[in-house]
């Protein structure tokens, strides 16, 4: 899990997910991520695990505006539940999310992260 947090810090520091939260969610949930040296970072997360990760790294809640959600309309007190509901409304299996995930995967290669292909049928 530490490597996953390190990856999130890198993504945030380099601005890879800026304007691309749907792509980030698509990659976190549906794709295998490894370091260039083959070290496994993630085999894909459940929605709940992705929500917990976003809570732990204190991802900016206002990024949900990217797909038309208003942060104040989501559960305000429970940050993990906030992210879980946001993921549910983000359409992470849509063609737009797939394209956004592919863009993010290309950017992540610059940071030595290899993102696998999307799940079959997508």
Q: What is the pLDDT of residue 91?
A: 92
Q: Spell 97-110 as b/e; 16+ CB within 10 A means b.
A: bbebbbebbebbee
Identify the CA nearest to 29 among candidates 79, 100, 78: 100
Question: Which domain range does residue 90 map to?
Answer: 2-115
What digits encode the pLDDT tens for the residues 78-101?
Answer: 889 999 999 999 999 999 999 999
Residue 46 lies in a domain: yes
Residue 78 lies in a domain: yes
Q: At 59, is the pLDDT very low, low, confident or very high (cuts 50, 70, 90)?
A: very high
Query: How many structural domains does the chain have?
Result: 1
Residue 120 lies in a domain: no
Residue 121 lies in a domain: no
């Amino acid at each position: 899990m530490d490597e996953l947090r390190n990856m999130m810090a890198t993504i945030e520091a380099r601005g890879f997910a800026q304007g691309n939260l749907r792509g980030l969610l698509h990659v976190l949930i549906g794709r295998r991520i490894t370091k260039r040296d083959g070290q496994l970072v993630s085999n894909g997360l459940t929605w709940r695990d992705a929500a917990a990760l976003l809570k732990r790294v204190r991802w900016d809640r206002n990024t949900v505006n990217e797909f038309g959600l208003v942060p104040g309309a989501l559960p305000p007190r429970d940050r993990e539940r906030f992210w879980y509901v946001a993921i549910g409304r983000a359409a992470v299996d849509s063609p737009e999310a797939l394209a956004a995930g592919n863009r993010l995967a290309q950017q992540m290669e610059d940071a030595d992260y290899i993102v696998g292909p999307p799940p079959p049928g997508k």
